[in-house]
Chain A
């Protein structure tokens, strides 16, 4: 790791010195050390090491704050547990803030006084990002997005070729040679987005959502220019890079003259595009941003699509992506959809806003450095899934899907894992006109 120097320290401290972030300062100074957060954290519950207790992660950041911004911290640092920002501190921060937190926010929900621990972790990550300490594998994904327009570096030709292929699948499925996946058509109601792993490796969710749009008779389009729903700079927490990516989506909404930005099944994509983006780019949206989950629920409610729940008789359970349920308040819509699309829906315990992360959140899936921890903390999710006895786990997040796919093999779960669009598409009969 590159040694710390005065310039780096100065840049990092600017994050804590910000006069317009009174929230950060009050949350850094409010922890009462009650310890309730310990037993809400995946890392502490499965690994058992006290370093992983969420309050300890807050303490890392607040001890730096005390050292440089309080009189006692400057004069008698040992007395108030104020710590210098040095190489040892950096090592600890990288290990615990990047490598020891899925940013699931479960601790925040259980905090006795409401400290936004996840926010403090993000600010700690921001300090590290500004000093250039983002783990290499995470930064490589951010870099791909910044340089190529999508986080997997997919070329224009490859993208179009894949979409045309999925359009053929759609036509076959709907028995209609006119069924289409529109590309770059301005003035449509909906600009739809994708997680790049869909075109790259798992395109069935594209044709599934296209089938939903087709049957709902939606006016929609994809844009080849900007379709990537992810913003990995949300995870690295580099504000400038997060802003650059968020700005692209905003600009594309202007180019395409769409009224509704529909965010694909991607937890952090929803969080970063819908809630964080206006902060990153420092302006409000002139359009409506919503998730495909809410849109599908709307279609069912209005009778625009008519699922047949008898088609799926296997027991189906739901994994709530943290950024969707806890982070965005979308809890009932996915349940409403599933209850309409499958005949045997079983809940995990706990679920909804108290659900456990799959273990792949917070950028963990991209960070090879902490792979062993990621598989270890998944033990809780494995136990939850086993208890339901479900054959199929549905989750509206491609990141969760990849983590679940891996733990399915690692822990011999013997389940199928599907996106919500896939399960909905399977439940929709195609009626001949």
Chain B
């Protein structure tokens, strides 16, 4: 099982760096994964996106549509891509502790 180590904390991940155990996720884990991706500070806008993704995952077991993220966070599409350079899936969903979504992502 691959792992990633950030600030001396070790997480079990799939090969793509998505958490193997989404239930261990907390805000500290989010901060560390973001840092690993080069996002040094999580702003309120980052958190708005992360919380929506997390809530949708806990309720429906999958990532929300980008439409839902924009609507609920009150952000423009382009802002999401700027906040998470790896995009909503490999970027935001990973920071939110979700398993890797299926498909071309």
Q: Is the CB of B104 within 8 A of A365?
A: yes
B95 to chain A, nearest CB (A): 13
Given the known inter-chain contacts A200-B103, A365-B104, A405-B86, please indicate yes or no for A370 contacting B15, CB distance below 8 A: yes
Q: Is the CB of B18 within 8 A of A368?
A: yes
Which residues of chain B come closer than 8 Å to A200, judged between CB atoms?
63, 65-66, 89, 101, 103, 105
Residue of B nearest to A153 (CB): B62
Given the known inter-chain contacts A201-B88, A369-B15, please indicate yes or no for A195 contacting B65, CB distance below 8 A: no
Interface residue B87 (Cβ < 8 Å from any Cβ of A): yes
Q: Is the CB of A201 within 8 A of B66?
A: yes
Roughly how many angstroms separate A406 CA and B16 CA in the complex, as a whole number?
A: 11
Q: Is the CB of A368 within 8 A of B102?
A: no
Roughly how many angstroms separate A94 CA and B104 CA in the complex, as a whole number?
A: 21
Which residues of chain B come closer than 8 Å to A81, judged between CB atoms?
none
Q: Is the CB of A158 within 8 A of B65?
A: yes
Interface residue A199 (Cβ < 8 Å from any Cβ of B): yes
Q: Is the CB of B77 within 8 A of A402?
A: no
Q: Tally inter-chain residue pairs, CB-CB below 8 A.
A: 92
Roughly how many angstroms separate A366 CA and B104 CA in the complex, as a whole number?
A: 6
Q: B6-44: which residues lie under 8 A (CB-CB) from chain A?
A: 14-18, 37-38
Interface residue A77 (Cβ < 8 Å from any Cβ of B): no
Q: Is the CB of B37 within 8 A of A195?
A: no
B61 to chain A, nearest CB (A): 10
B87 to chain A, nearest CB (A): 6
Q: Is the CB of B15 within 8 A of A201?
A: no
Which residues of chain A come closer than 8 Å to B66, judged between CB atoms?
162, 200-203
Q: Is the CB of A152 within 8 A of B16?
A: no
Which residues of chain A come closer than 8 Å to B54, judged between CB atoms?
none
Roughly how many angstroms separate A153 CA and B100 CA in the complex, as a whole number?
A: 13
B70 to chain A, nearest CB (A): 8
Residue of B nearest to A401 (CB): B104
Interface residue A224 (Cβ < 8 Å from any Cβ of B): no
A195 touches which of B67, B86, B88, B104 (Cβ 8 Å): B104
Chain B at the A interface: mostly helix, strand, loop or mixed?
Answer: loop
Q: Is the CB of B67 within 8 A of A161?
A: yes
Interface residue B85 (Cβ < 8 Å from any Cβ of A): yes
A366 touches which of B62, B90, B103 (Cβ 8 Å): B103
Q: Is the CB of B65 within 8 A of A144?
A: no
Q: Is the CB of B101 within 8 A of A162?
A: no
Interface residue A106 (Cβ < 8 Å from any Cβ of B): no
Roughly how many angstroms separate A82 CA and B85 CA in the complex, as a whole number?
A: 49
7 A-B pairs in the complex with CB atoms less than 8 angstroms apart: A137-B100, A152-B102, A154-B65, A158-B67, A195-B103, A200-B63, A371-B14
Given contacts A151-B102, A165-B67, 17 further A-B contacts (CB under 8 A): A137-B14, A141-B103, A151-B103, A197-B103, A197-B105, A199-B65, A200-B63, A200-B89, A200-B101, A202-B66, A266-B104, A366-B103, A367-B15, A398-B104, A406-B90, A408-B85, A409-B86
Question: What are the nearest 9 A-B pairs in CB distance?
Answer: A371-B15, A368-B15, A368-B14, A141-B102, A368-B16, A201-B88, A152-B103, A399-B104, A151-B103
